[in-house]
Amino acid sequence: MGRGSRPRGPFLLPLLLLLLLAAVASGEAPSLPLVLNTWPFRKAAEAAWSTLLAGGSELDAVEKGCGQCEVEQCDGSVGYGGHPDEHGETTLDAMIMDGNTMEVGAVADLRRVKNAIGVARKVIEHTQHTLLVGESASLFAESMGFPSEDLTTQSSLSMYLQWLNRNCQPNFWKSVTPDASKSCGPYKQAAKFTKEERSVSKKRIDVHNHDTIGMIVIGQNGSIAVGTSTNGADHKIQGRVGDSPIAGAGAYADSTAGAAAATGDGDLMMRFLPSYQAVEYMRTGMDPTIACQKVISRIQKYEPYFFGAVICANTSGSYGAACNKVSGFTQFHFMASNPTLKQPSEQIIDCI
């Protein structure tokens, strides 16, 4: 220390403390381990967080967290007894991904089996495949010891009957006869194809129609896993698969870069691979919030009125989220858990 210079320590310490307090107050202080999940599904966050604290792996935590939502039937959009298809049946989609090995296990259009995220993990552990679908996925699940159960409940049956009484409105058909905007099917293709605007445009969004749980888990050592689970769009065409079980669309993890998960209109969002794109943005050093916002902005250029949100986290534990602002959806709620927050905490962001 030169003559006349003053000790820096006593002056720098308060400044560092102020910076740390500001970071903590923002909810974005880098801290591991980390659990993030879409929507304020608190018990799912608690299940994943407690699994990590008990010594479970990142994949264990994702499976437990998403599985909790399947049991609870979170918001009617996850698990059995929700969102019947146009024939009245509830089917499930799920995916789990290991960011260390890049292995993915997924199931789509799963029937008769409630624990979709559990079946997805068995795809990783007991097959060389990535995605199993439909009746064959159900048979695989049963061979793995999952019980065969009816996914229909009085609630989902009531939803279906009410939809029939509304002349099957709304639905996902277009350019068919009879006119799908006025009557039920069966439908046939119209003699002349006409381009129709998506019914979602400029109308108030029903946030419960396209929900899903997407979860990111980063362990103390930086290992990352992600997962999703959903029963899909309400009154979907039978056989429809959305973004949730598709790696890079519903969720994506790479332990060398970060992770992301998406929620919203899966038919639209899966065309942009938002989760993969967000992770690649973070690979360049981009802040997680900015990465999420850039993904949303990219979709906005093509579909300004789409319903959707993305959560993002980098390898240091910094996290963020973004959503598209439309009528009925101006803020996005999600859960975050890390040592700084002490317990799973609801986060709220304004949409862009």
Q: What is the pLDDT of residue 16?
A: 37
20 Cβ contact partners less than 8 Å away, ≥ 6 residues apart: 29
From 51, 90, 91, 212, the catalytic residue: 212
Q: How confident is the model at residue 6 (pLDDT cuts 50, 70, 90)?
A: very low
271 is in an annotated binding site: no
Residue type, 225: A
Residues 6+ apart with CB under 8 A from 197: none
Are the beta carbons of 241 and 133 closer than 8 angstroms?
yes
Averaged over 248-271, what is the pLDDT?
Answer: 97
8 A C-beta contact, residue 298 and residue 326: no
Q: How far is CA 21 from CA 49, 94, 330, in A?
A: 23, 38, 28
d(CA 323, CA 107) in angstroms, rounded, equals 26
- Quick one: pLDDT at residue 232? 93
* Both tokens assigned to 292: 């999420």
**What is the separation of C-alpha 294 from the centre of its chain, rounded to a whole number of angstroms?**
18
Give the phi and the psi of residue 188 in degrees, each rounded to 5: -130, 160
Return the H-helix or E-strand segment holding 107.
Answer: strand 104-110
Residue 241 annotated in ligand binding: yes
Q: Which is higher by pLDDT, 13 or 332? A: 332
Confidence at 192, pLDDT banded by 50, 70, 90:
confident
Distances in whole angstroms, Cα of residue 309 to Cα of each of 47, 198, 200, 260, 296: 23, 19, 16, 11, 7
Rounded Cα distance, 298 and 288, in Å = 15
pLDDT band at residue 207 under the 50/70/90 scheme: low
Instruction: Look over the chain and give the mean of its residue pLDDT values, rounded to a whole number.
Output: 90
Residue pair 273/266 in contact by the 8 Å Cβ criterion: no
Q: Which of 264, 319, 253 is CA-nearest to residue 292?
A: 319
Token pair of 266 as six digits: 């899966």
Query: Contact, 243 vs 268, CB < 8 A?
Result: no
**Unique residue bearing structure tokens 């089917």:** 91
Hey, is 98 helix, strand or coil? Answer: strand
- Whether residue 254 is annotated as binding a ligand: the answer is no
Confidence at residue 295, expressed as pLDDT on a 0 to 100 scale: 98
Provide the whole-model pTM.
0.89
Question: How far are the Cα atoms of 119, 131, 209, 251 from residue 264, in angstroms, in the given order?
Answer: 23, 21, 8, 12
**212 included as an active-site residue:** yes
| DSSP 3-state of 74 | helix
- 3-class SS of residue 16: helix
For 40-88, the pLDDT digits (tens) are 999 999 999 999 999 999 999 999 999 999 999 998 899 998 899 999 9
In the structure, what pLDDT confidence band is assigned to residue 263 with cuts at 50, 70 and 90? Answer: very high
Contact (CB, 8 A) for 283 and 337: no
Task: Please report the pLDDT score of residue 278 as a whole number.
Answer: 98
226 backbone φψ class: left, alpha, beta (φ>0; ψ -120 to 50): beta
Give the whole-angstrom CA distance, residue 205 versus residue 219. 35
Percent of the chain with pLDDT strictly greater than 70: 86
Mean pLDDT of all residues in 240-245? 96
263 labeled binding residue: yes
Q: Does the pLDDT at position 174 exceed 80?
A: yes
Q: Say what the pLDDT of residue 252 is.
A: 98
**Cβ–Cβ under 8 Å, residues 82 and 111:** no
Say if residue 67 carries a ligand binding annotation: no
3-state helix, strand, coil in the chain (%, to 5): 30, 20, 45
Nearest C-alpha neighbor of 350 from the set 289, 304, 299: 289
CA dist 68 → 43, 47, 74, 116, 334 (Å):
7, 7, 9, 11, 16
